[in-house]
Chain A
């Protein structure tokens, strides 16, 4: 065990670096990060001894031997690894504080109405309930996660819907108006997990979806038996002509049906979950449909996921499918674990660079943000993470995170708890 004083030095050093960053920011000076191993995820590849200049909220220059502008704060990366800010997967960060406390769970529609009135509510939009002051936000962002896609969910106990509503990407820097423009998407749950609220089969789900689309095209045709509310028709109408629709679906045959449905209705499909996506990798590659996959799936959790395997990511990538990652196990509170799952995908054959792109540029592209996020390149928003080492490795930690050019205070409710009880353990050791 290290001594207490040694520990305190470490903690103080971290705090000191915070003060330095905060000071630099307060004066509005440029920041030059010098001597990092820069994974640009872009045309410049990986720069062994690279420099990145931040000006305001943007990346102003990327290269080697950059000159610090007058007044710039210079950070010596000492060879540490710099990446774009990581994606937090499909989550409810800022929408959910405690999973089992209903009053803190806002990502799902739960209006206690009969399910036929709630199953198809494309107008439900939980992003307006996003709370940037949630304790989950700092807990997550100090681990290098700078943005996430808020995905409307299904209530844990009873009720719910299979067209769950609309979601969007948000930045996690704590601003109120956090939505990232151009990322809006509709979310649809297909398959066995929602059978109980959508007619008991994939056939029923597609039947209901077809009817809903018809109501958009011919609003009066359904008469008294309309599935959609007037607002719902407007909302769905924004997706039937070129909108992005995330189909959460696992079974290979069902994925093909989702692709066909999207094609019929000129939607831009994204497959989420995709446990058996590797089976239909050729179809996905041909149609340029990306997959947000759960890299840990290797058990037949249900009969839609019999073909789950740990090299799903590797097989899809090899086939030319754009991939990124999500969690199906506590995706909100565990969002910081997403990079571990990418590392596991590497252990099962996914190339390292593809895994890193899967946490950065790929999700940005999938959600329409590629022009501003996901890479380290001139003009991109300065969402950056300085890591102690290989960012996919579990022994690696984020040393400093910047979002939109501003250094994140590397503290959270959890670090406060840690520091309080660290003292108690040390006192006990000293006895």
Chain B
């Protein structure tokens, strides 16, 4: 099978699943995480330039609405004004100039969110010249930022949009223990990545457990880490440095405050800025980790240094420690059925999502790590739900939708903005031609901040990346 190489480079070998370090949110179920030290990240030097497009008020009328909060409303309306959800309910009145989308016999859900994507950093076509997802030159590259590799003309953004994806986290690959910062994007066409940046979304730090760092450095370069214990030692050494970094800065600030004019400014380091951002609760750890015992060790490490893991990504063995994850308020980004491509994926089962979800306060998320998978997160959730039903964990559509909307929003720290159809939130909405958990389901319309971003009935208006312009027939209309 000749395409395995490229797949493995993207999906298994080098892609790391890092989850942004989570702030100690009020909604978290885990024990409160101590803040190591007061610390302020340097001001946002690459700010979002995304502007909510103007759109007329929109009424999505009469659909089967899955709100993303666990509710299902049949024959309900969703009213959007100024890019935000204004109301959800039956027989809503709409302002005079309202655009009406008839959703009778169709399903309406929040826009889907993928917490694990490499779109833009590994764009299509997968050419050497644009393969920018893994700074695989040293095991610790907490200094790099994925956004600086994002190519906004990846046609994968548009195919993901056709699958209902409105928000996605772009991560560095998983070659490194610390892969670098992630960035959260809105799935809107833009010439610059700043034009896609989700306003106000916290940064994430991608970290990676397991085989990939060992393979790239131990096997590939004959250097540390070459073992699982080497991985752990590698992380811990960095956290110790980050603590010292924060202490030095604190001392400097204290001296300044005391009027000490001889105080020496500590040297700034990008790597330690990011790590300190984690230890101060401003950057969320998104961590690629397959095995149960590795996740358990990382959880202890997070307590050792006083930070919180927002989500484990890939988590093929999450089902073995579903209780531990839930108790610690950690989400698990999972596939429905990928398994077996390496030893740490050998114990994958199709009930993983259902078992993680079934633990009290469990936070199950379907993620993709794939330009193909991101187009059908809804189907992956549907498959996993069917597996759960067979073992006695039947859950209705209004619950399953959380795996691809509100739960990922929570893991990214943007749950106050998007991920559910609640009054005041961004009007990121998908209208489906049927039950979204069917293999035959297609997104008919996708709205982002109330603007129609995709309409299946208007192929000419579909966004196309610069790359696809002038090509003889692209993807199917």
From A92, A330, A397, give the contact of B338 (CB < 8 A): A330
A193-B2, A333-B339 are known contacts. Are A395 and B437 too (CB-CB below 8 A)? yes
Interface contact A154-B441, CB-CB below 8 Å = no
Quick one: closest B residue to A393, CB to CB?
B439
A99-B340, A302-B125 are known contacts. Are A394 and B8 too (CB-CB below 8 A)? no
B412-448 interface mask toward A, CB cutoff 8 Å, 1 = contact, 0 = none? 0000000000000000000000000111111000000
**Which chain B residues border A100 with CB–CB below 8 Å?**
8, 12-13, 211, 215, 341-343
Interface contact B476-A153, CB-CB below 8 Å = no
B155-169 interface mask toward A, CB cutoff 8 Å, 1 = contact, 0 = none? 110010000000000
A151 to B3 CA separation, bound complex (whole angstroms) = 13
The answer to whether B96 has its CB under 8 Å from any CB of chain A is: no
Interface of B, helix, strand, loop or mixed by DSSP: loop
Interface contact A154-B472, CB-CB below 8 Å = no
**Which chain A residues border B393 with CB–CB below 8 Å?**
1-2, 7
From B8, B343, B442, B476, give the contact of A311 (CB < 8 A): B476
From A92, A298, A307, A395, give the contact of B159 (CB < 8 A): A298
**Which chain B residues border A99 with CB–CB below 8 Å?**
4, 8, 12, 340-342
The answer to whether B43 has its CB under 8 Å from any CB of chain A is: no
From B358, B390, B437, give the contact of A1 (CB < 8 A): B358
Q: What's the least CB distance linking A393 to chain B, in Å?
A: 5
Interface contact A101-B343, CB-CB below 8 Å = yes
From B215, B341, B351, B468, give the contact of A333 (CB < 8 A): B341
The answer to whether B87 has its CB under 8 Å from any CB of chain A is: no
Quick one: closest B residue to A428, CB to CB?
B323
The answer to whether A73 has its CB under 8 Å from any CB of chain B is: no
Of residues 295 through 315 on chain A, the ones whose CB sits less than 8 Å from some CB of chain B are 296, 298-303, 305-312
A23 to B263 CA separation, bound complex (whole angstroms) = 85
Q: Which of B23-31, B134-142, B381-389 contacts A (4 or more CB under 8 A)?
A: B381-389
**Which chain B residues border A418 with CB–CB below 8 Å?**
319, 349-351, 355, 391
The answer to whether B105 has its CB under 8 Å from any CB of chain A is: no
Interface contact A154-B159, CB-CB below 8 Å = no
**Which chain B residues border A417 with CB–CB below 8 Å?**
347, 349
A126 to B12 CA separation, bound complex (whole angstroms) = 25
From A279, A414, A425, give the contact of B349 (CB < 8 A): A414
Interface size band for B: 35 or more
Interface contact A10-B392, CB-CB below 8 Å = yes
The answer to whether B337 has its CB under 8 Å from any CB of chain A is: yes
Quick one: closest A residue to B465, CB to CB?
A300
From A298, A343, A428, give the contact of B476 (CB < 8 A): A298
Interface of A, helix, strand, loop or mixed by DSSP: loop
What number of A residues sit within 8 Å (CB to CB) of B? 74
**Which chain B residues border A27 with CB–CB below 8 Å?**
none
From A6, A301, A348, A428, give the contact of B3 (CB < 8 A): A301
A328 to B6 CA separation, bound complex (whole angstroms) = 10
Q: What's the least CB distance linking A226 to chain B, in Å?
A: 25
Q: What's the least CB distance linking B212 to chain A, in Å?
A: 10
Interface contact B3-A429, CB-CB below 8 Å = no
Interface contact A309-B358, CB-CB below 8 Å = no
**Which chain B residues border A156 with CB–CB below 8 Å?**
4-5, 8
A2-B392, A156-B4 are known contacts. Are A296 and B211 too (CB-CB below 8 A)? no
Interface contact B4-A330, CB-CB below 8 Å = yes
Interface contact B474-A330, CB-CB below 8 Å = no
Q: What's the least CB distance linking B42 to chain A, in Å?
A: 37
**Which chain A residues border B232 with CB–CB below 8 Å?**
none
Interface contact B473-A307, CB-CB below 8 Å = yes
Q: What's the least CB distance linking B224 to chain A, in Å?
A: 20
Of residues 341 through 365 on chain B, the ones whose CB sits less than 8 Å from some CB of chain A are 341-343, 346-351, 355, 358-360
**Which chain B residues border A308 with CB–CB below 8 Å?**
475
From B11, B391, B467, give the contact of A10 (CB < 8 A): B391
Give 8 CB contacts A-B under 8 Å: A8-B392, A305-B125, A307-B472, A308-B475, A309-B475, A329-B11, A343-B439, A348-B476
Report which B residues bind A (CB closer than 8 A).
Answer: 1-8, 11-13, 124-127, 155-156, 159, 211, 215, 319-320, 322-323, 337-343, 346-351, 355, 358-360, 370-372, 375-376, 379, 382-383, 385-387, 390-395, 437-442, 467-468, 471-476
- The list of the 9 closest CB pairs from A to B, nearest first, reads A7-B392, A343-B439, A333-B340, A309-B476, A100-B342, A2-B392, A311-B476, A428-B323, A99-B341
Report which A residues bind B (CB closer than 8 A).
Answer: 1-4, 6-8, 10-11, 90-92, 97-101, 136, 151, 153-154, 156-157, 189, 193-194, 248, 279, 296, 298-303, 305-312, 328-334, 336-337, 340, 343-344, 346-348, 392-397, 414-415, 417-418, 421-422, 424-425, 428-429
Known: A344-B439, A424-B322, A425-B322. 15 other contacts (CB 8 A): A97-B340, A154-B1, A301-B3, A331-B1, A340-B439, A347-B442, A395-B383, A414-B350, A418-B351, A418-B355, A418-B391, A421-B319, A422-B355, A425-B355, A429-B360
